[in-house]
Amino acid sequence: MLMKIYDADHIRNVVLVGHQGSGKTMLAEAMLFNTGAIGRLGSIEEGNTVSDYHPSEVERQMSVFSSLLHIERDGHKINVLDAPGYPDFAGEVITSMKVADSAVFVLHAMEGVQVGTELAWGYGAGANIPSMFVLNQLDRGETDFRALVAQIQERFGRGATVIQLPGGAGSRSIIDVLLMKQLYFEEGTGKVTAKEIEDAFKEEAEELHNALIEDIAENDESLMELYFEKGTLSEEEMRKGLHEAMLKRQLFPIFLTSATENVGVSRLMDFISNVCPSPSEMPPVELEKGDTITADPAGSPVAFVYRTMSEAHVGEYSFFRVYSGTLEQGMDLENAHSGSSERLGQIYGINGHEREPVTKMVAGDIGALVKLKNTHANETLRKKGDKHEIKPIVFPQPRYTSAIRTVTQGEEEKLAQGLHALSNEDPSLILLHDPHLNQLLLGGQGEMHLMIAKYRLANRFNVEVEYIKPKISYRETIQGQARASYRHKKQSGGAGQFADISMMVEPINGEFKPPADINVRSVNKFTTDWGAEIEFIDGIVGGVIDMRRFSGSIQKGVFEAMQQGPIAGYPVGAVRIVVYDGGMHPVDSNDAAFKSAGRMCFRDAFKKAVPVLLEPIHEIEVLAPEAYTGEIMSDLNQRRARIHGIEAEGVLQKIKAQVPEAELYQYSTALRSMTQGRGLHTAKLLGYEAMPRHVQEQVQKEAEEMVEA
């Protein structure tokens, strides 16, 4: 049976976000149940929810991938994106935020604002997406509704405005201060009955109703005038005001549910249908080249593939949102990134792993295609010849990086193919190859992120891998000035080899100030392929070396020595090399001789110039509840960190520090252990610094042992 086609005015795209365990998946399950899409509520424990259907999700009893669901209710189609709450899968949250028009922040009523909430809020603010809160599991006796509201308002501002309050422990009722009714939800079916508010709650309900009216009126001049004129606002006027304030991110309504008990879910869906913005009401979407596009079904077809996922027995699903025009089966579109042509096959509406065929999808809708040949996540499909391209998603830098290798030798090609496929599906998995250290690195948002990748490599590509501690990309440089001379002389019957070089080395620190005995003929500046600055100065006078002929050979020899530095074999940088004297032979001097002499002379001079090892330093920010800050700072001090400050960020504390990369291996795992899963960090490379002498000696010792081995 073909699914009904909806226009942009009757579509709502919402993403469920929040910390792990807040109940997003069960809320999505209850939505499906209330609209008859499923006959009974599944459960996380039984592994039979519509949303969490991947084997890795069932095994771990947690969302790993964002799931697409859709609900048809009262003439509207609500596309629901159920995003994971575990911070390792932040890429899935960002991806879902990209294509949604409203974000529903689900909070566990006993836990309140957690790190996953904070993380998602930052992404939502960056996407400028209308947002609301759902306090879930309020049926738990230990919850404190008023304290939780205060916490939300403290962290996210006074724009968080109460729409509902609990109707008493065990009553299966919610008091709705927008409707000014007490809503009772029937056990089993979730059907709602609206009654007058009980006397015990009337006074508080009136106060909250008036506060809601004032919040709405404050953000709309016309409604403010009406409020002053009438002393109140009608339900319809309040809905209109909430709608406009949500679009401008001025108000963030607070709703209540108990998803597993099916309390409050139907009322939440009504609000989404009636108040949350449709795609046609959202601001125009900015394109890559600065233009904008609106959800016009008659416009030129433009679709954005926000994620791809391989499914057993089906192939690769490409999940997309239509931003303009209408997509139909058999249509030929162009990939804006590669220029390749794609013919669209069957279009589907998706509920977890279930799919429903649809003849076409119009602007604003979200669906899936199968078997696109050359289109991956984060790419745009458009009419051939058009210039429309949706801005790609920007993913966060990896928080956790590990070296990866196959358990069985000879499977490197399988590993490369598998990693390439996984990174196409999940662009937040970053694959790096460090040729100087000869290691393959996989970066992600945490240890769990990489373990899921390992699971998928084994089960999908039949390649077993192991993670090992990555080598650190140290650098070598010098702190002083030194000179050396080297004569390369080789005679082996016939033509020999001869090259004589005198060289000075010093750190690059401002412009070169030549000593009295050195004349500068030319200065060449280079940036090596490992990102280091090098200056090569020709100071030869009198033609003792023919630099037009041999300069390139000397440079090649020096660069060879730089790739495996003289101290511990790490790349060299920030060094100035001055060739100021030497000699040559009219017959025996050649490129090979001067290359060898350049390499050996540089090594000798380098070792005399107070050599030092540099280590990469990362700037990190740690976000965690205040109760854990003491332990976090103590741990950072043990990691040779320089702590630069601590500041409040809502109900959490942010610690800023600079930490050597060598001390950050598995830090995200250690931080979560210290904070019971409530701490999170970000890190970015700041630069390189000289390491302490005792650390350098240890690194040199390890390098020597590796060479001996």
Q: Give the residue with greater pLDDT, 708 vs 192.
A: 192
Is 160 in contact with 235 (CB distance < 8 Å)?
A: no
Phi and psi angles of residue 148, each rounded to the nearest 5 degrees, phi first: -70, -40
Q: Residue 412 has what pLDDT?
A: 92
Distance CA 340, CA 464 (A): 34
Asked whether the predicted pLDDT for residue 591 surpasses 90, the reply is: yes
Is 132 in contact with 252 (CB distance < 8 Å)?
A: yes
Which SS3 state, helix, strand or coil, does residue 474 take? coil
pLDDT, mean of residues 378-396 = 94
Distance CA 277, CA 343 (A): 32
| Secondary structure string (H, E, C) spanning 477-495 | EECCCEEEEEEEEECCCCC
Tell me the DSSP string of 530-541.
TS-EEEEEE---
| pLDDT tens digits along 232-287 | 888 898 999 999 999 999 999 999 999 999 999 999 999 999 999 999 999 999 99
142 pLDDT band, cuts 50/70/90, is: low
| pLDDT tens digits along 529-562 | 888 899 999 999 999 999 999 999 999 999 999 9
Q: Residue 141 has what pLDDT?
A: 62
1 pLDDT band, cuts 50/70/90, is: low
298 pLDDT band, cuts 50/70/90, is: very high
Distance CA 52, CA 21 (A): 13
Tell me the DSSP string of 90-116.
HHHHHHHHHH-SEEEEEEETTT-S-HH
Q: Residue 532 has what pLDDT?
A: 87
Tell me the DSSP string of 659-672.
EEGGG-TTHHHHHH
* pLDDT-above-70 percentage for the chain: 98
Q: Residue 700 has what pLDDT?
A: 87
Is 406 in contact with 361 (CB distance < 8 Å)?
A: no
Asked whether the predicted pLDDT for residue 429 surpasses 90, the reply is: yes
Distance CA 351, CA 9 (A): 21
Distance CA 322, CA 303 (A): 4
Distance CA 27, CA 25 (A): 5
**Strands 642-649 and 611-625, bridge-based pairing:** unpaired
Q: Residue 6: count other Cβ atoms within 10 Å of its Cβ.
A: 23
Average pLDDT, the chain: 92
Which SS3 state, helix, strand or coil, does residue 435 take? coil
Which SS3 state, helix, strand or coil, does residue 652 take? strand
* Neighbouring-strand partners of residue 303: 322, 381
311 pLDDT band, cuts 50/70/90, is: confident
Is 306 in contact with 321 (CB distance < 8 Å)?
A: yes
Which SS3 state, helix, strand or coil, does residue 27 take? helix
pLDDT, mean of residues 336-355 = 93
pLDDT, mean of residues 700-705 = 84
Q: Residue 450: count other Cβ atoms within 10 Å of its Cβ.
A: 22
Say how many residues make up the chain: 709
Distance CA 536, CA 534 (A): 7
Give the DSSP letter of residue 572: B
pLDDT, mean of residues 362-368 = 97
Query: Which amino acid is present at 567?
Result: I
Asked whether the predicted pLDDT for residue 493 surpasses 90, the reply is: no
119 pLDDT band, cuts 50/70/90, is: confident
Considering 8-17, 135-144, 311-320, 351-360, the range whose residues carry the highest mean pLDDT is: 8-17
Asked whether the predicted pLDDT for residue 310 surpasses 90, the reply is: no
| pLDDT tens digits along 397-423 | 888 999 999 999 999 999 999 999 999
pLDDT, mean of residues 347-372 = 94
Asked whether the predicted pLDDT for residue 612 surpasses 70, the reply is: yes
| pLDDT tens digits along 435-490 | 878 899 999 998 999 999 999 999 999 999 999 999 998 999 999 999 999 999 98
Q: What is the pTM of this model?
A: 0.85
* pLDDT-above-90 percentage for the chain: 76
Q: Which residue has the tokens 């309050």?
A: 165
676 pLDDT band, cuts 50/70/90, is: confident
Asked whether the predicted pLDDT for residue 369 surpasses 80, the reply is: yes
* Neighbouring-strand partners of residue 160: 252
Q: Residue 140 has what pLDDT?
A: 67
108 pLDDT band, cuts 50/70/90, is: very high
Query: Which amino acid is present at 348?
Result: Y
- Domains of the chain (ranges; CATH) run 8-281 (3.40.50.300), 285-382 (2.40.30.10), 400-471 (3.30.70.870), 476-609 (3.30.230.10), 614-708 (3.30.70.240)
Q: Residue 294 has what pLDDT?
A: 95
Considering 168-172, 604-608, 701-705, the range whose residues carry the highest mean pLDDT is: 604-608
pLDDT, mean of residues 603-610 = 96
Q: Residue 494 has what pLDDT?
A: 67
**Strands 67-73 and 76-82, bridge-based pairing:** antiparallel
Is 626 in contact with 113 (CB distance < 8 Å)?
A: no
Is 663 in contact with 639 (CB distance < 8 Å)?
A: yes
